[in-house]
Amino acid sequence: MIRLDGVSYAYPDAVRPVLENVSLDIGRGAIAGILGASGAGKTTLAKIMAGFIPAVDGGELSGTVSVDGQGMGDLPLAEAVSRVGLVIQNPFNQISGARYTVREEIAFGLENFGVARPEMQGRVDEVAELLNLGPLLDRSPYELSGGQQQLVAIASMIVLRTPVLVMDEPTSQLDPAGTRMVFDVLSTLRGTGITVVIFEHKLELLHQHADALYVLADRSIVAAGDPTDILADARLAEWHIGSTRYTRAARAAQDRGLLAGLQHLPVSLEQAVAVFADDGGAR
């Protein structure tokens, strides 16, 4: 669905590129997580996928980005955003301020694209039902919690029916309840056919929700694959990404002479319980 081939990018006047030879291919309806340390270029990659780079930020972009086989490179921004939706970190700053209620806020993008009123109403109701936003529709977006505001931002994108949704650290400014709300949306979107690319640091939640993980480090994609394999990769520490608390617990146990001979470290609660139960049983 969304494919990047040999994408390299340098900001205007930059000495060296932020990204070099990035390639990935994420299929229709998949949920892909992209990991990377702060400063690894995650936001830059998110903006490239969504068509904001180079259209807005300028700079030199090489390689190709395509959605459903169609190149994004030469599209004007207004057309690119109708193919790839973008949700950013700060929920408050995504409220347009131009609309009074959540219902109108969700419809704002449809208004910009000139969608007729009856269709708009139908699409807003449909998205509100999908994300369980019904009780919030007549409230002001400014009255909502951070998590609810982020849901409204996601709804504002989904309502546009873009085949791809890119989420750039959507929970970084949210509390645990808000974070849970956003990740629950991923479960809801599964099966809708929307391809989701989420840039995140919350490894355990990514393990639960993503179909595949990609690691962005040293300006390129350095590892890709099944979430369990990626999160157990010892090189994550070298890439300053860390590991799940279950993996850390297993490593600490190994340092103390426990779990000897264990090849695959646990990355989730279930795996940890199984590993420690086996080890306890063996003793």
Partner 1 sequence: MSSTVYVDRGSPVHRLNPMTKLVAMLCVIVIVFALPVWWVSGLVLAVAIIPVAVISRCGRTLSRISATILLPILVVLFVVQGLTFPGGKTALVSWGVFTVTSEGLHFALGIGLRLVCLVLASVLLVLTTHPGDLMSALTARGMSPKFGYIISSTLQLIPAFRDRANAILLAQQARGLSVKGSPLRRIKIMMPLLGPLILGMFTDVEDRSTAMEARGFGSTARRTSLVPVPDSSVQRVSRWVMPAVSLAVIVVPFATGAL
Q: Say whether 161 sits in a helix, a strand or coil.
A: coil
- Is residue 125 exposed (0-12), middle (13-18) or buried (19+ Cβ within 10 Å)? middle
Tell me if 182 contacts partner 1 by CB under 8 A: no
Give whichever of 70 and 263 is closer to partner 1, judged by the CB atom.
Answer: 70
CA distance 261 to 52: 48
CA distance 264 to 271: 10
CA distance 261 to 68: 45
Give whichever of 148 and 268 is closer to partner 1, judged by the CB atom.
Answer: 148
With the CA atoms of 70, 73, 74 and 76 taken in that order, what torsion angle do they form, in degrees rounded to the nearest 10?
100
Tell me if 172 contacts partner 1 by CB under 8 A: no
Tell me if 82 contacts partner 1 by CB under 8 A: yes
Binding test (CB under 8 A) with partner 1, winner from 85, 178, 227, 266: 85
Compute the residue count for the chain.
283
Tell me if 140 contacts partner 1 by CB under 8 A: yes
**Candidate ranges 4-12, 78-86, 214-222, 266-274; the one touching partner 1 (CB under 8 A):** 78-86
Binding test (CB under 8 A) with partner 1, winner from 14, 77, 273, 277: 77
Binding test (CB under 8 A) with partner 1, winner from 107, 186, 198, 205: 107
Binding test (CB under 8 A) with partner 1, winner from 157, 164, 186, 275: 157
How many positions of this chain bind partner 1 (CB under 8 A)?
46
Tell me if 136 contacts partner 1 by CB under 8 A: no
CA distance 8 to 106: 34
Binding test (CB under 8 A) with partner 1, winner from 22, 31, 95, 158: 95
Tell me if 254 contacts partner 1 by CB under 8 A: no
CA distance 192 to 12: 38
Binding test (CB under 8 A) with partner 1, winner from 116, 256, 263, 280: 116
Element of type H or E holding 224: strand 220-225
Does residue 81 contact residue 24 with C-beta atoms inside 8 Å? no
Q: Say whether 5 sits in a helix, a strand or coil.
A: strand
Residues that bind partner 1 (CB under 8 A): 47, 50, 52, 56, 76-78, 81-82, 85-90, 92-100, 103-104, 107-117, 120-121, 124, 140, 142, 153, 156-157, 160
